[in-house]
Structure formats: C-alpha cells, structure tokens
Chain A
C-alpha cells in the first residue's frame, strides 16, 4: 500500500501563476487535510475534509481552494500564487473511529513562488 501520496514533490511558480497540488490515499480514511509548513515552524491547517463531499476552512485558508474529488483524492489549488505561499505543503488523512486524532501524512510538496 502506498499510504498517502502527493504530486508534485517540487514546484517553482512565478507570482500570479496557478497550480493544483494533488493528494491521494489508499487507506480508506474518511478525513483528509492540507497543511503548510514554513521554515522553523510547525504545521498549520489550511483546509480539511471530514468526509467525501464536505470541506471546511482551517487556520490559514486565504489564497487557497480545495476539492474533495472522491473518498481517495483531495486537491489544493492556488489560483494566483504569491511569494508568501512559498512553503512545504503536506496532505494528511485520519480515521477517527479506529484511531481518534491520529493523522497519517504524505511526503510533502516543496513550493517556491518567485
């Protein structure tokens, strides 16, 4: 099993460009999350999806949109990238019934906006 996969692993954008970060999981988990990690800091929640068909804002949602395409996939879109969005982005999943609160993370996407 691959667990949680993210594409791409690295990306460089120019200010104003758009892109979509992809996340897929084969763990059959209901909940999925997008975080960003800035240098020297912990992860901050951008958006989450408690179940297929639902999405909610986290701590830092401005400048991002998400789509929960199906149970397996959760994408994060930057419509007009800004240098402040340079960060490492992590996707995560969880299944609160079996293991409440525990989250499983993908390998991350390093995004640089010039």
Chain B
C-alpha cells in the first residue's frame, strides 16, 4: 500500500519570505502523479501544483514550485514571497498512474504566514 508522510505538523513563515514543506512517499510503482493541495480555513480543497513522475523537470506554478527527487521518494513544496493568503493546511497526495481512483493523502502541514 502506498503511504504519504508529512513530517512537519506546523510551520510558520514571515510574509514575503520563502518556506519549504516536506513530503515523502512510499511506492513500488514507476509511473504516478504527485500533488499538493491547499485547504484554507474555508475548508475548500484547492489544487496547488501537480507533478508527473516520468517528468524530470520540477513543476512550477507562479510562486509555488516543487523539488521532486524520485529516487529518494521526496516531493517538497517551496512557497516564495509568502502571502497572508497562503495561510492554510497543505496536503501532499499521491495517485498511482494517474488513474485518479485512489488518491492517498499525507497528514498535512499547517502553515501560518505572519505579517
């Protein structure tokens, strides 16, 4: 079974600074997808960024980027120029082969951006 681990339950960062959230996963698959989802206090789950395992290039979406280390099974999220609106729970998630049928989530990291 796949497992996803987020080792940082809580983090904080000053506004405009950079923060990195960690995620590791366990799988025997070669092709899969990884995601970071954001859950603000409104509870709405919002996709932040996705990475396809067969692509070596790290995904980027504006201020959000990932460091994908396939051999190490590591998938960290870097948030640059942090904004107050980035305050939220962040969940790392794994999907085997893009089937979209069994997303496995990590336990989450609560990020607080301080003014």
Give CA–CA (A105, B38) in the complex, Å. Answer: 11
Within 8 A of A (CB), among B1-46: 4, 9, 33, 35, 42-46
Specify which chain B residues have a CB less than 8 angstroms from the CB of A58 in the assembled complex: 102
A49 to B83, CA, bound (A): 37
Q: Does A2 sit within 8 A of B, measured CB to CB?
A: no
Contact of B100 among A56, A103, A107 (CB under 8 A): A103
Q: Which of B55-63, B69-77, B91-99 has 4 or more CB atoms under 8 Å from chain A? A: B91-99
A contact residues around B108 at 8 Å (CB): 40-42
CB distance from B106 to the nearest CB of A (A): 5
Q: Give how many A residues have a beta carbon under 8 Å from the other chain's beta carbons.
A: 25
Please tell me if the beta carbons of B105 and A107 are within 8 angstroms of each other in the complex. Answer: no
Contact partner, A90, options B45, B52, B106, Cβ 8 Å: B45
Q: Which residues from chain B contact A108 at a C-beta distance below 8 Å?
A: 43-44
A45 interface contact, C-beta 8 A: yes
Contact mask for chain A residues 24-56; partner B; CB cutoff 8 A; 1 contact, 0 none: 000000010100000011111100101000001
The distance from the CB of A19 to the nearest CB of chain B, in whole angstroms, is: 19
Contacts A58-B102, A96-B100: A102 and B47 contacting too (C-beta < 8 A)?
A: yes
Question: Which residues of A approach B to under 8 Å, CB–CB?
Answer: 31, 33, 40-45, 48, 50, 56, 58, 88, 90, 92, 94, 96, 100-105, 107-108
Q: A50-B101, A96-B100, A105-B45 are in contact. List 6 more A-B contacts (CB 8 A).
A: A40-B9, A42-B93, A43-B105, A101-B50, A101-B99, A103-B103
